[in-house]
Amino acid sequence: MNSSIEHPLLIGCSGWSYPDWLGPFYPPGLHEGDFLEYYADRFPIVEVDSTFYRPPSARMVRSWRDRTPDQFTFALKVPRVITHEKLLKGCEEEVDGFVSSLEPLGEKLACALLQMGYFNRSAFGTRDEFLEVLDRFLSRWPMSRVPLAVEVRNAQWVGPELAGVLEAHGAALTLTEQAWMPSPREVADRIDPVTGPFAFVRLLGDRQGIERITTTWDRIVIDRSAELAETAGVIRQLVRRVPVFVFANNHYAGFSPETARQLRGLLGLPEPTPPDRPRRTLFD
């Protein structure tokens, strides 16, 4: 691929349903039922966390589809019964149910995220044992229907062996800014971070650390400008090769819409110009 070609770069947040955003992001009094529409006028993509806890109903998925603009897209977490409870084994029925539940999204489906937990030896004795299970799981995953990004949370497992398994199946390696994990720059300096048809970046931060400062997600409380600038450099390299999806979490610095705005500025992206739409308020 010609490295001079710039691919789509979509920056969004990890979720949209945050009452703490009323005032600093959502207009005061905006009806919660309008949060998604307001968000989708200002971001091109969102990461859906609720699907981690249970697959969405067809009615819910159709609602997400119908309430967002034509070019808006969703990245949805694979349910935890697959990743954390069954540990990718014997979960064909759950995978089929989840994949089928996403069909109403149509072209608004960007991908799914296979977010693994941190595994001790009671779950997987070695990295190679995990990779063997992951390899079998990915061989059955319907990539053509639901593109997949894979995130691991054992720092020592992020290396060429993991990248090789992902590349063999066309799954994207998830790059994370997370307290105990190697940074996107550290990963990109060690291995080729592009293992699939897109790149997936998550700005996660230190959940326990930031919750000692605040549990109200309405402002930046930690200065992560240095880390964000470093990751922006990695993103510039990635987008020359593949489309890139980036998600900011409230736990990264305290207020993910502002983190996303800062990242757009570092990457020279324009601020969105949302349409003027009538909105309900809590008092309507």
- Distances in Å between the Cα of 234 and the Cα atoms of 120, 182, 186, 241, 266 are 30, 13, 10, 12, 12
Domain boundaries defined on the chain: 9-266
CB 78 within 8 A of CB 98: yes
Question: Would you give the distance in Å from CA 237 to the centre of its chain?
Answer: 19
Over the stretch 48-87, which tens digit does the pLDDT of each residue have? 999 999 999 999 999 999 999 999 999 999 999 999 999 9
Over the stretch 116-175, which tens digit does the pLDDT of each residue have? 999 998 899 899 999 999 999 999 999 999 999 999 999 999 999 999 999 999 999 999
Instruction: Please tell me the pTM assigned to this model.
Output: 0.94
Cα(first)–Cα(last) distance of the chain, in Å?
53
How many whole angstroms separate alpha carbon 175 and alpha carbon 116? Answer: 13
Domain 9-266 is in which class?
alpha beta
- Say if residue 3 is exposed, middle or buried (CB neighbours under 10 Å; 0-12, 13-18, 19+): exposed
How many whole angstroms separate alpha carbon 140 and alpha carbon 154? Answer: 23
